[in-house]
Amino acid sequence: MTTARGQRTRRGRWRVGTLFTVVMVTLALVLSCHAAPGGHDRPSPPPASLGWGLTHTQYSADDGERAAVKSVRDALAERSLPQNQHIMGWGADNPEPSPGRYDFASLDDRINFIRRAGGTPVITLCCAPDWMKGGASGSTDWSRRSLEAAPTPEHYDDFAALSATIAERYPDVRHFMVWNEFKGFFDETRQRWNYEGFTELYNRVRHALKRVNEENLVGGPYLNMDSFGPGRSTYPSSLKGSWGSVDQRVLDAFDYWNTHKTGADFVVVDGSSYTHDDETLPDRFGALDKFTAVGRWIRARTHLPVWWAEYYVEPGADGGRDRWSERLRLAMQAAGMIAMVRGGATTGFYWNPQKRTGPCAGCLWRSTDLTDGTGGEPQPLLEFLRRFDKEFPPGTRYRTVDVSPAGPPDAWILADDDAVLVVNALERPLRLEVDGRAVQLAGHQVIWLRRG
């Protein structure tokens, strides 16, 4: 699903100073360790559900023009969002180029940016240094094939030790996702996922993180819930609908991890509304029901909170980001998030496809490299993400809404006691009565209503 990009390009970077890093880490240590006699002032344990946020990718807002960087930071600070960063790739350099020799400069930059933006930092423990997966010590091959290789079994403990070192370096980070989409764990001989190997790695990493701090929260398996169209005989499963059928091999991998894990604080998956072959079935909006079905399937197997590490609604074969209007894109994203909530999800991360130059469809802000005064400007998707997280945080008690004359599939609606989110799934205008109030929507319009 995700494209593993290579090393960051460094040029004239604005960098957070080492002193700031030391101060923030020291402060975090004080806050996490302080407790009055008897434990009366002990900080509350971190929550297992974080709400709705974003993942920083190859290019983000910790680098660029100062004013543009500040613009993004201020926009994010308006609403404390969970923000995820990988430890290697997607904007972070090799954290341990050779055994015991560390380079955390780029990861420091990202974590410090998240702190300064008031976000809740989340770390994805992927990917692994070359020497842990058969490569040469002291060098880094940034090709996708190399980056997405898994640690070899004899280096599982080394990766767990690196994970523990990272947890010690950032003591204010309490949420960790282990690995990414089973990268490197596909067994070509047996044509299935090596879920035994992944689960062994997961358990060792979790144990190492808990030894650093028992209150560190760890989740997996971060599986891509890949699916095939209805009627296909390719690894069919009972998890199916008009949108298709989830690959049985993925479900087998989940069930094995779920049975053999030594513990977890939340469950992580990712996926797209479209099929393995870029089909949106029965249509664009109908395909979003897959998110609901997957969530309910997971909830039937565990009481743990459900996280979507990534979620995609724009298949390349359907025109993708570059051809969709911003109104359609926003409507699809909004309906997709509604579908995840209906499936029981309490946390989700938008994979921000940030670019350094040129148009950036689907990005949360304009590039911070722009010098025309528009750099860093928040885009509609960021404004929606902040609003969704504000109105529907973890623990929200969702309510039904009286809608006439039309409801799903023409309109997607989510509500609690205070707010109603309404999405027009049609290209044409739509007139509704919501809680007895007349509402007129333009094609693919997204609106918020207050209740009471």
Q: How does pLDDT run across 322-373, given as a tens digit for each residue?
A: 789 999 999 999 999 999 999 999 999 999 999 998 889 999 999 999 999 9
- What is the average pLDDT score of the chain? 91
Predicted confidence (pLDDT) per residue in 236-275, tens digit: 999 999 999 999 999 999 999 999 999 999 999 999 999 9
Q: What pLDDT does 86 receive?
A: 98
Buried b (16+ CB within 10 A) or exposed e, 184-196: bbeeeeeebbbbe
User: What percentage of the chain carries pLDDT values higher than 70?
Assistant: 89
- For residue 36, the model assigns a pLDDT of 38
Cα 330 from chain centre: 18
Per-residue pLDDT for 416 more than 70?
A: yes
What does DSSP assign to residue 286?
G
pLDDT at 11 > cutoff 50: no
Question: What are the b/e assignments for 296-322, b being 16+ CB within 10 Å?
Answer: ebbbeeeebbbbbbbbbbbbeeeeeee
Where is 166: in which H helix or E strand? helix 156-169
The band of 408, judged by pLDDT with boundaries at 50, 70 and 90, is low
DSSP states along 30-90: HHHH---GGGTTPPPPPPS--EEEEE--SS-SSSS-HHHHHHHHHHHHTS--EEEEESSBT
In terms of Cβ atoms closer than 10 Å to its own Cβ (0-12, 13-18, 19+), residue 32 is middle
List the 240-241 sheet strands across, edge first.
227-228, 244-246, 240-241
Given pLDDT bands bounded at 50, 70 and 90, which one contains residue 319? low
Burial (CB count <10 Å: 0-12, 13-18, 19+), residue 428: exposed
Q: Which two tokens stand for residue 277?
A: 């072959």
Q: How confident is the model at residue 14 (pLDDT cuts 50, 70, 90)?
A: very low
What pLDDT shows up at residue 320? 61
pTM above 0.75, yes or no: yes
Q: Tell me what pLDDT residue 302 has.
A: 98
Lowest mean pLDDT among 1-10, 155-164, 269-278: 1-10
445, two tokens: 């319009």
Helices and strands (H and E) in the chain: how many? 11, 19
Q: Is 2's pLDDT higher than 60?
A: no
* Span of 26-35, 372-381, 431-440 with lowest mean pLDDT: 26-35
CA distance 222 to 183: 10
Q: How many residues does the chain have?
A: 452
Q: Kindly state the tokens that stand for 46.
A: 């971190």
The token pair that represents 86 in the structure block: 């990988």
Reply yes or no on whether the pLDDT at 128 is more than 80. Answer: yes
User: Which residues is 122 bridged to in the sheet?
Assistant: 84, 175
> What is the model's pLDDT at position 202?
99
Whether the per-residue pLDDT at 206 is higher than 90: the answer is: yes
Collect all residues with Cβ–Cβ distance below 8 Å to 375 and sequence separation of at least 6.
64, 65, 67, 68, 71, 366, 367, 368, 369
Phi, psi of 270 (to 5 degrees): -145, 175
CB atoms within 10 A of CB 10: 11
Of 415, 364, 423, 412, nearest to 392 (Cα)? 415
- β strands within 87-148, DSSP E: 120-125
pLDDT value at residue 32: 44
